[in-house]
Amino acid sequence: MKICFLALYGTTNEICNGVQKDQNRNIMTHLKKVWTDFCKALLVEAKWYNSEYSPSLQEYLHNAWISSSGSILLVNAYFALAHGMSDDEVAYLETHQDLVYYPSMIFRLCNDLGPSAAELERGDAPSSILCYMKEAKVSEEIAREHTKGMILDLWKKMKEKCISHSAHLPRMFLNITYNIARVSHFVYLYGDGVRVQDCETKNDVLSLLVQPI
């Protein structure tokens, strides 16, 4: 744990120092908050698993959008923008968490669609699919369709929010918001493209980043 913490501490400080130098802004408070919230969310899932507790779907989702790590990605991306953000824009984002919530939730639900029910049963945390199967007493297939429906609804809401907030936030950040959600569909298109390095995801990454056009 000390090794992991020191690596995180060093990287976070390096990011903060870079932003301080380029933008004359101290972002440590913002990064500390998202990492603290993320670790607390993981701890909740660990307690659920070790106590064999099965949360309701709503209870699961309330915690899962944070444990998806989407908020960490977005907050880091926000302060990494080349031209820096004004204090008003930072304050605006803090009071409009929906621009962080929606892509983070899409990221989580796409993740949940990756593994099969058998894999989820022996996994390390509940999932939206298992929670809905137990709560509604339905099959895995029905639960997956329900999750896909939630993802579609989240996309609609996220697009509406991006349009309504476009006058207050940089277009570049709104593009990042879209792309965080889009990449989750790619990573989990053929299952879990992170933990299970299957051929489809591997070949797609190679063709995009490694092999010549």
Six token digits for residue 32: 């500390």
CATH, domain range 36-210: 1.10.600.10
Cα separation, 176 vs 85, in Å, equals: 14
- Summarize pLDDT for 83-122 with one digit per residue, the tens: 666 677 777 777 778 889 999 999 999 988 876 555 555 5
Six token digits for residue 125: 């945390």
Cα separation, 67 vs 104, in Å, equals: 9
pTM flag (> 0.75):
yes
Q: How many CB atoms lie within 10 A of CB 161?
A: 17
- Amino acid, res. 4: C
Long-range residue pairs from 134-142, CB within 8 A, at least 24 positions apart, any chain: 134/54, 135/56, 135/57, 140/116
Which of 101, 120, 144 is closest to 195 using CA atoms?
120
| Domain positions in the chain | 36-210
Predicted pLDDT at 124: 56
